[in-house]
Structure formats: structure tokens, C-alpha cells
Structure 1
């Protein structure tokens, strides 16, 4: 498996990954990935035998901390084709995304049983507030990275793309 930066030639394959990986929500997730590209996120693909089998993005969002706004990352979306799941592709993509980011914290919405194994913790336990009540508390997770300071707590503020596409919380 090769993890590498997404290139323009990968866009259709990335769209196909999200369409397949997210079932009924695949079109919305693919649209989210397309829209987030304009913000110049970290965008990585997993390739097996020359084919894109997984994708992850980390984009710039804001943390509304008491002293000031702080740039933070949001890991979304993450998708892996079904036939490549449970083979370490998602784990490798998340590890590479964490390694590639320069943000002091990285947030996501996801299954804590999966993401806790990758270093993520419940955001509320660390002083963070969800950007929407539609996000189940256990799904709102964060990993603190180099550059994080104790005063960096507060409310996560999603990029407008998430709101415009109604891609916040469970539907």
C-alpha cells in the first residue's frame, strides 16, 4: 500500500471511493470532498496495485478559544473501499494525515471504538464543545498535537462548507 498526496488525476477515483464507502450518504460525502478541496486541505490517497482504495482530508477550521480564534484541523472525510477495510488502510491514512498536519489539534466525528485506537479522545473530556448538538457527544473526538497549549479549549467552528452541504452530525 502506498499513501501519497491526492493529485488532480485522482479526483474521480476519490469520488468513487466515497460513493461506495458511504452508501446512501456517499453522494453527500463525495460532494463534501469536492467542495473542501478549494480550501487547500491535506488530502491523501491510499493506493493498492495502482488503484485508489482510500482517501482522507484534513482541512482548516477554527477553535473559538476564550483568548482568541485558533486554526485547527478537521479530519473529514475518511473513506475506504469495502474490500480494503479491516486491512489497515484507514489506520494508515489517519496516521499519515496526523503526521502531515501542522495544526495543534485535529477533530473529527466518528466511532470512538475505532478512533480511540488511533489516539483520539472525547472532545468534551478535554474542554472542547461540539459545533452542533446533532453530533453525538461520543462521536466528537480530538487528538492534541504539537503546538497545543492548555488555554486552547472552546467551541469547534466548522468551515462554512460543512454547513452549506448540511454535512454536520448524523442524518
Structure 2
């Protein structure tokens, strides 16, 4: 397996990964990726036998901190083709992305996800670290953060997602009975 930065020619393969990985929610995730891609950030793919089998994105959002707004990263989405899951591909993508971001000036990476999975990768509950989630629809234990070397103690506050997350209604959980 090879990990590398996403290239423009990977867009269709990446879309396929998210459509398959996220099932009924796949179209929302794939459309979100297409929108986030135009805003820059770090996107990595995992390739096996010449096929893109996994993808992760880290994109800019803001932390509304007491001193000032702070540029932070959001890990979303992370997807692996179902037949390649549980082989360490997702973890490898996240670790590679965090290593790259740790070399720069990004102080924090936030995500919404399964705490049992992301705890192994160093993420902890955001509220326990002095952060507030951007939506009440995000379960408390799913709102997670990891501090990178550029983080300073005063960097606490509320995460403010970039506009594409709101436009695609890709924040938190929806009540299907509402």
C-alpha cells in the first residue's frame, strides 16, 4: 500500500471511495469532499495495486478563542472501501496526515467520530480540553481534538466549521423522526 497526496486525477476514485464507505450518507460525504477540495488543505489517498482504496481530508476551519480567531484543521472525512477496512489503512492515513500537519503551524485538529477508534490515534474529547462543539447535534463523545506542537495554552473556545460543512448539512446527527 502506498500513501500519497491526492492528485487532481484522483477525484472520481475518491468520490467512489466515499460513496461506498458511507452507504446511505455517501452522496453527502462525496459532495462535501468536492466542495472542501476547492478550499485547499491536506488530502491523502491510500493506493493498493494501482487503485485508490482510502482517502482522508484535513481542511481549515476556525477556533473562536478568547484572544482571536485561530486557524485550525478538521479531519473529515476519512473513508476506506468496505473490502479494505480493518486493515489499518484508515489509521495509516490519519497518522500520515497528523505527522505532516505537526511539521507546520496548525495547532489543533478536530473531528466528529467514534471515540473508540480515534482515541487510539491520540484524539480526546473536546469538552475535556476546553473546547465547545459547533452544533448541539454532535454527540459529546464524538467531538474530539488532538493538540499539535504549535498549540498554545490559551487556544480554547468554540470550533467554527467552514461553510461547506453547513451547506451540505454534514454536521452532527439528524433525528430521522423529526
Where on the TM-score scale, by shorter chain, does this alignment land: which range?
Answer: over 0.9
C-alpha distance in 1 between matches for 2:13 and 2:47: 10
Specify the alignment match of 1:143 in structure 2.
146
Superposed displacement of residue 165, structure 1: 0.8
Specify the alignment match of 1:46 in structure 2.
46
> Which runs of 5 or more residues in structure 1 are unaligned?
none
Runs of 4+ in 1 over 3 A off after TM superposition: none
Superposed displacement of residue 97, structure 1: 1.0
Superposed displacement of residue 170, structure 1: 1.6
Specify the alignment match of 2:113 in structure 1.
110
Please say if 1:89 is aligned against 2:89.
yes
Match among 151, 169, 173 for residue 170 of structure 1: 173
Specify the alignment match of 1:76 in structure 2.
76
> Which runs of 5 or more residues in structure 2 are unaligned?
none
Specify the alignment match of 1:59 in structure 2.
59
C-alpha distance in 2 between matches for 1:84 and 1:170: 26
C-alpha distance in 2 between matches for 1:69 and 1:41: 18
Render the CA deviation track for 1:52-74: whole Å, top value 9, x for unaligned. Answer: 00000000100000010000000
C-alpha distance in 1 between matches for 2:122 and 2:83: 25
C-alpha distance in 1 between matches for 2:49 and 2:168: 33
Superposed displacement of residue 40, structure 1: 0.7
C-alpha distance in 1 between matches for 2:126 and 2:156: 10
Partner SS for 1:75: strand
State the TM-score, normalizing by the size of structure 1.
0.99
Partner SS for 2:93: helix
Superposed displacement of residue 109, structure 1: 0.2
Render the CA deviation track for 1:118-164: whole Å, top value 9, x for unaligned. Answer: 00000000000000000000000000001101100000000011011
C-alpha distance in 1 between matches for 2:72 and 2:132: 13
Specify the alignment match of 2:17 in structure 1.
17
Aligned residues: 171
Match among 112, 120, 125 for residue 122 of structure 1: 125
